[in-house]
Structure 1
Amino acid sequence: MNINNAYVIAKKEFGFNIKNHWFLLSSVIFCFLNFIIIYFGEIISGDYSQTDIRSLSLSIIHLQMYLIPLFSFILSYDAILSERESGVLDLILSYRVTLLEVMFGKLLGNCIVFTISFLLGFLPVFLYLYFLGIKFLVLFKFVLVSIWLSFIFNSFALYVSNSSKDRTFVILLSIFIWLFFIFVYDIIFTFFVVLFYGSISNYFLNFLLFFNPAEMFRLISIFYFIPNDITDLFGINVSSFNNFYVCLSMFIWVVFVFFSFLFFYFEKK
C-alpha cells in the first residue's frame, strides 16, 4: 500500500467534510445534548447546588455510546457509495490507486474530522466535569476511548458503504448494525446472563462483552469514571477488568479493523 496515496485521499476527505460544515453541526449537537442531559439530571435530583457525579457520569457515558456510532455512520456510510455513483471512484482507481488505499485514506480523513467535531462539542462538557471534581486524566482517557469507538464504527460504515451499489440497502444495513450493537446485543446479553446465571464463569461473560465495541466503550468508561460501579454492571462480577485488559481489548479491535481491510481488499482482487 502506498502511504502517500492514502494521505492524499485522507486530505481530500478531510477538506470535503470541513467545507460542508458537517463537523460544526455535529459539534453543536454533541454539546447541546450533553448539556440537556446535565440540565435534566439536576432537575430530577431536585438539587441545583450539588450534582450527583455518579448519575451524571453514567448518563454522559450512555449518551456518547449512542451518539458516537450513529454520527460515525452518518459521516461514512456513503463515503465510497457516493463516489461510485458519481463515477469519481473509477477515475481515482485509474490513477494507480488501489481500493485499499482509498478506504484507508477515507477512514483516516473521516476519523480526523470526527475527532475535531467531538473535541469541539465535548470541550465545554469536559471543562464542566473537570470543575465538578473529575480528574483531568480520567476525562482525557474518556476522550481517547471515544475516539477509538468512532474509529471502529467509521470502519464499519466504510465496509457498508462498499458492500452494495443500492443506497437504500446501505442505509438500512447501517441502521441495522447501529441498532444491533447499541440495543439488540444488550438485550441478548442480558437475557443470556439471566438464563445461565451461576452456571457459567464470569470470565466467559466478560469475553462475550468483548465482541461488542459499544459495550467495551461503556465498560471502559465506567471503569475510569466510577470504578466502584464496575462490579455492578449487568449484575456480574467483572473485577478482573484492569488497565491491561482495557489496552489489550482496544488494541485487538484496531488490529481486527486493519486485517479486515486487508482481507476485504484481497478478496475483491
Structure 2
Amino acid sequence: MRQVVLDTETTGLSWEKGNRIVEIGCIELLERRKTGRHFHRYFNPERDLEAGAQEVTGLSLEFLRDKPLFASAVDEFLDFIRGAELIIHNASFDIGFLDYELSRLGPHYGRIEDHATVLDTLAMARERYPGQRNSLDALCRRLGVDNTHRKLHGALLDAELLAEVYLGMTAGQADLMLVAGGDAGLVAHAGTGRLPAVVPAGPRRVLRASEAERAAHEARLEKIAGKSGGKLVWPRAESVPS
C-alpha cells in the first residue's frame, strides 16, 4: 500500500474567511516504510497571516512574498498524492483548505477525494485513547516519538512526526496480516513488498506450540495491546481451538 503523510500550515483557522495555505509537507510510505520521497513547498498566500498563525509557525508575509503561488505547484502536488491513502491529523482541517485552494483554480481539479483516500489519525487516536489528549505533541509523548526539536509548527516536520506516530499506533498488527487464496494456497505477507510465496497443496503437518511458546506469545500480545489501545485483530491463545 502506498500512503502519504500530509500536513499543511495556513494563514488562519478558517478557509471560509479567505485564509490560505502557506506550506504543504508530505512524506511517502510504501508498505509502511519511508521511501525517502517527499513533497514540500512554501506558498505566497497573497494575504497577511493572522497573529495566531504567525506565532505558531514563525512565518510571515515578508518571508512568503517571493514564494510561488499554489497554482504553480498544484499539478506536481496532485501527482504526488494521486492514488495514495493520505494520513492526516485532524483531516477535515487540511482537506477543507486543500479543497478550497483547488476550487479557486477551477472545477476541473475536483476535490482531494477525487485523487486520494483519507485516514484521519485524530479520529483513530480518539477511538484508541478516549478521554485523553490526542494532539500531535501528546501522541508523540505517549508513543515515545522524540519531538523535542519541534519549537514551531512546520508542515514537513509535522508530517515526519505524524508518520512516526501513525506507525507507532498501528505497530505489530499490520505486519501479521496474511492474505490467502487459490487452490495452491498462495500466501502473501502484508508489508514485505515481496511476491506471494506458493505453499504446496496436500496434507500438512500441524505443529502445536509448547507452553513456553504460548507464554511468549501472550507476552508479545500484551506488549502490542498496550501500544494499540488494547485492541487486537487476532484472537488470544485461549480462544484458538487446539
- For normalisation by structure 2, the TM-score amounts to 0.26
Higher share in strand: 2
Higher share in helix: 1
Structure with the larger RCO, 1 or 2 (CA within 8 Å, 6+ apart): 1
- For normalisation by structure 1, the TM-score amounts to 0.24
Q: Larger Cα Rg: Structure 1 or Structure 2?
A: 2
